Structure 1
Amino acid sequence: GPAAPGGPRPPLLLTAGVEAARRPLGAVTCSSSARRRSSCARRPCAPCTGHAVDLNIFLDDPEFAEIIQRAEQAVECGVFPERISQGSSGSYFVKDPKGKSIGVFKPKSEEPYGHLNPKWTKYFHKICCPCCFGRGCLVPNQGYLSEAGAYLVDDKLGLGVVPKTKVVWLVSETFNYSAIDRAKSRGKKYALEKVPKVAKKFNRIGLPPKVGSLQLFVEGYKEADYWLRKFETDPLPENTRKEFQSQFERLVILDYIIRNTDRGNDNWLVRYEKQDDGTDLSDKDIQWTVTKDPIIKIAAIDNGLAFPFKHPDEWRAYPFHWAWLSQAKVPFSQETRDLVLPRISDMNFVQDLCEDLYELFKTDKGFDKATFENQMSVMRGQILNLTQALKDGKSPLQLVQMPRVIVERSSTGSQGRIVHLSNTFTQTFHSRKPFFSSW
């Protein structure tokens, strides 16, 4: 039940972010919570401007739960999320009490076409160019689910290229709220100060929490475009080159399965570090320093424009820009085939993946089961193509040139050439192409 003002805060329940239960709390001040957890690192605690609520449930991931707790504690202590200047939506660097960035939060309401997007460019786009507004193949305002869904696919396949991303609820005065929400918050806090007993009439004191995706912050990475230019003039050692190719292939598999419509060389990252183990081998007048191969790792960020309910077939093709790289001309390695092929060629695995995504996507207020099934039809078609490409030893470039496929549950009402896969699924070759198409 609600906590009394100044009383102990109910324990934070922490799970998969997909079945979060909403439970309102009473007023809580930063001092009581901070004494229970730990003292604020920067400054004395001030009363909370927002309100922490038990909407974040991560029982199966205590490490992520602890990160969310630190983010909440930071807000309570006046260390607020910082809005990121780049991009076309409201996204924020979430910090710990010491001011260190620990994640990137993207609220649903501040997505590119969300009603509280603080970036004026998309508002201008919507007003002045309504005929070209949005991406016709994507479900509007579900980018946060796409971000979390990309991590789910990455984790199920064991790719390891998407930083951990889950759906969370956060509140901060630095988020973009409507004037009405801010006025209500000020009114409730004023009433609480004057008449503490009135707090019992309020389900929440402060600003309302926002739902969105939180992706853990990765350090030591730079945009792929930077390193790709570097590698042209300073080629990688052979073992490192093979590791980079393996990481690249995992990025390709992720993007292709979720049909990412927004993958350029500026929204995937590369970490490249030369290392020296410091071991010296001396032989009279000759001395050698034993060095290890450089570390190289890819991080696939910005996955919010994926999971279309149809293949792009209007104006733009939204191609995968990595298809023009030299790495895309190399056939998939045996290592990648051994990792991915046994999973995606198993229909039970694919069905489990669809069911997991259903549990995630159905939490959105605008969820539509028929639209979701269309999204899964596209994804199953991508998986079918990928399975065949891996079996045939094709390259990523050859993969994206394969005919587009939709694998639907219904065996009736489809147009084009249909091949029966089982009693439930049919395969449709999608022939309509967008006006501006590269393939």
Structure 2
Amino acid sequence: MQVALNVPAEESSLTFGDLELKNDLSAVRNYSLPLLIKNFMRISSSSERISVVIIGNTNQAYKTKQLVKDIIKGIKRGASPIPIHGGCGGVYSFRNSRGENIAIVKPTDEEPYASNNPKGFVGQSVVSVKRSVRVGETGYREVAAYLLDYNHFANVPLTALLNISFSFFSVNGEMTSNRTAEMKQVSKLASFQQFIPHGFDASDYGTKIFTVASVHRIGILDIRILNMDRHAGNFLFQKLDGDGGFGLVDLIPIDHGFCLPENLEHPKFEWVYWPQASVPFSEDELEYIKNLDPIKDSKMLRKELPMIREACLRVMVLCTNFLKEAAVFGLSLADIGEMMSRKLKSREEEPSELQLICIEARKMIAEKDVFFQEVDAEGNHLAGSSSGNMRPNEQLAGGTCFVKVMDMNEEGWELFLEKFQELLYPAFTNRKSSGNA
């Protein structure tokens, strides 16, 4: 690997979940891949049995390094991490030397249904609680959302991917800190997010206190990354006024592990029902959307997060293109969100307007004898196979997935995007007409 990838062996490591692989690959399972990590920075404290490797080299590496140093100082002063009991996965709050919460750490092998989940949600499933997101792969999605939040537009807190070796984690569902035997250092791949001090539970006061700008900015990000889990529970709220009342608040989005799915799934945009989402985009917001470049974004994510699956990038390209064209046409955030959301009729899901556009684009490609590669359950292409005769109605069988993006070769994908673009204007016109009716 040193010769092939031009990465010095001493600057890299091969990991699989909570294991650092040396000369034995027997632990690697067939439903996920080992991760070759280029270690950007290593910070350790041998006396406290903790070592942290910052993975990747983002523009915010200095801030990440400072936070890591602060949590190590906190551990030296006796401020041990605090397990967070809510939710289904393993989450830990790390503190500084003053005992203040400064970072949230989520080990990838403690996600729901992962091998070391501490809350009883352990399984062998390839796909996690959300379709098209595999167990153990939400951590890098958290980082991807942060990296895509250019200029801190949506206020995503600083997020990085770390390899943490520490004696305070769950192993086989049991906290190492609770063991009577000598504590053993455990290595974990984890997402690491800056803790943002926040105020009250806004559910007690309603959505009218949210600013239009904050709703729009988070909505724009959610559309780009096809967030399947945006609800009131993953917004943090900060007051904008200085008095003791409850004036307008700014929103800070967290928990992006269920974004960038491998297929064009059904998103969850709670903001689509809020009045702020129906307000037209501002000139600044339109300029921001105009400058988005999904091809450039894909290249950036491949470099920063080489473990990210190509299907996730295709979904991001598709959704970003949809957002850009819809904004130019004059649709509101609510319009765009509704077009991406499925409708329930007779207790059965029907494709969303966006999915119907994609289905039609696939049909147009099939009619031109553009062949599709078949993929197995792992998303791997099957050699010598094609499905050129596949029709959109075959994708609807079972109601599991309306639109897949990785069964197309590169030529088919490019042609699909062309046809998709051609179909947008009529769809937007129809949306405007139905909205004005």
* TM-score of Structure 1 vs Structure 2, range by shorter chain: 0.5 to 0.7
**C-alpha deviation, 1:63, in angstroms:** 2.6
How far apart, in 2, do the equivalents of 1:388 and 1:266 lie?
A: 30
State the alpha-carbon separation in 2 of the partners of residues 266 and 224 from structure 1.
10
The partner residue of 1:220 within 188, 198, 202 is 198
Mapped to 1, the partners of 2:101 and 2:160 lie a distance apart of: 17
CA contact (8 A) 1:162 1:299 kept: yes
Q: Distance in 1 between matches of 2:354 and 2:50?
A: 51
The answer to whether the 8 Å contact 2:198/2:236 transfers is no
Letter in 1 for 2:135: P
Aligned with 1:310 (options 263, 272, 297): 263
* Contact preservation (8 Å) 1:223, 1:268: no
Q: Deviations over 1:318-362 (max 9, x none)?
A: 431211112222222222112221x12xxxx32221012112332
Aligned to 2:213: 246
Rounded Cα–Cα distance in structure 1 between residues aligned with 2:323 and 2:411: 16
Give the paired residue count: 329
1:380 match: 317
- The one-letter code sitting in structure 2 at the alignment partner of 1:151 is Y
Query: Contact 2:43–2:69 at 8 Å: present in 1 too?
Result: no
Asked if 1 retains the 8 angstrom alpha-carbon contact of 2:52 and 2:68, the reply is no
In the alignment, which residue of structure 1 is the partner of 2:110? 110
Sort the Cα spacing of 1:352 and 1:208 in 2 relative to 1 into closer, same or farther, 3 A: same
Corresponding residue for residue 234 of structure 2: 267
- Letter of the 2:260 partner, please give it: F
1:256 pairs, out of 204, 223, 227, with: 223
Pair 114,268 (structure 1): closer, same or farther in 2 beyond 3 Å: same
| Residue number in structure 2 paired with 1:82 | 82
- Of 328, 333, 357, which residue of structure 2 is paired with 1:396? 333
2:84–2:91 Cα contact (<8 Å) kept: yes
TM-score normalized by structure 2? 0.64
Partner of residue 299 from structure 1, selected from 233, 249, 252: 252
Contact 1:273 1:296 in 2 (8 A): yes
**In the alignment, which residue of structure 1 is the partner of 2:346?**
none
Residues of 1 paired with 2:58 and 2:200: CA distance?
A: 33
Match 2:168 to one of 139, 156, 174:
174
Residue in structure 1 matched with residue 348 of structure 2 by the alignment = none
Decide whether the 8 Å contact of 1:181 with 1:208 is kept in 2. no
Give the Cα separation in 2 of the matches to 1:375 and 1:223: 33
**Is the 8 Å Cα contact of residues 52 and 162 (structure 2) preserved in structure 1?**
no
- Partners of 2:76 and 2:197 in 1: how far apart? 25
The 1:64–1:361 alpha-carbon spacing in structure 2 relative to 1, beyond 3 Å, is closer
Query: Shift in Å at residue 412 of structure 1?
Result: 4.1
Alpha-carbon contact 1:223-1:267 (below 8 Å) kept: no
SS at match of 2:313: helix
**Correspondence list, 1:63-102, <5 A:** 63-102=63-102
Kindly report the root-mean-square deviation, in angstroms, between the aligned alpha carbons of the 2 structures.
4.1
SS at match of 1:274: coil
Q: Secondary structure at the match of 1:20?
A: strand
3-state DSSP of counterpart to 2:115: coil
Residue 403 of structure 1 aligns to a residue whose secondary structure is: helix
Q: Write out aligned runs for 1:84-163 (5 A).
A: 84-120=84-120, 122-123=121-122, 126=123, 134-154=129-149, 156=150, 158-163=152-157
Taking the aligned partners of 1:266 and 1:24, their CA distance within structure 2 comes to 33
Contact 1:79 1:95 in 2 (8 A): yes
Q: Secondary structure at the match of 1:19?
A: strand
Change (3 A) 1:115 1:384: same
Aligned 8 A contact 1:221 1:272 in 2: yes
CA shift, 1:64, in A, is 2.4
User: What do residues 12-56 of structure 1 show as CA deviations (whole Å, max 9, x unaligned)?
Assistant: xxxxx973269898x932xxxxxxxxxxxxxxxxxx2x2325556
The verdict on how the C-alpha distance between 1:213 and 1:24 changes in structure 2, with shifts beyond 3 A counting, is: closer
- 1:332-371, aligned counterparts within 5 Å? 332-341=281-290, 343-344=291-292, 349-362=293-306, 364=307
Given that 2:154 and 2:221 are in contact with CA atoms closer than 8 Å, whether structure 1 keeps it comes out as no
1 CA distance for matches of 2:415 and 2:302?
Answer: 18
Which residues of structure 2 form unaligned runs of 5+?
1-35, 340-352, 373-387, 393-407, 421-437
- Alpha-carbon distance in 2 for matches of 1:132, 1:146: 14
Which secondary structure state, in structure 1, belongs to the residue aligned with residue 51 of structure 2?
A: coil
Higher relative CO (CA 8 A, sep ≥ 6), structure 1 or 2? 1
Q: TM-score, normalised by structure 1?
A: 0.64
CA shift, 1:396, in A, is: 1.6
Output the CA distance in 1 between the equivalents of 2:249 and 2:272. 20
Aligned-partner Cα distance in 1 for 2:115–2:213? 40
Task: Answer whether contact 1:51 1:209 (CA < 8 A) is retained.
Answer: no
> Which is greater in Rg?
1
Residue 397 of structure 2: aligned partner = none
Amino acid at match of 1:109: D
Asked if 1:19 is matched to 2:68, the reply is no
Q: Partners in 2 of 1:52 and 1:69 — Cα distance?
A: 11
For 2:74 and 2:43, locate their aligned partners in 1 and report how far apart those are by CA, in whole Å.
21
Q: What displacement does 1:177 show?
A: 2.5
CA distance in structure 2 between the partners assigned to 1:361 and 1:131 by the alignment: 20
What's the secondary structure of 2:87's corresponding residue?
coil
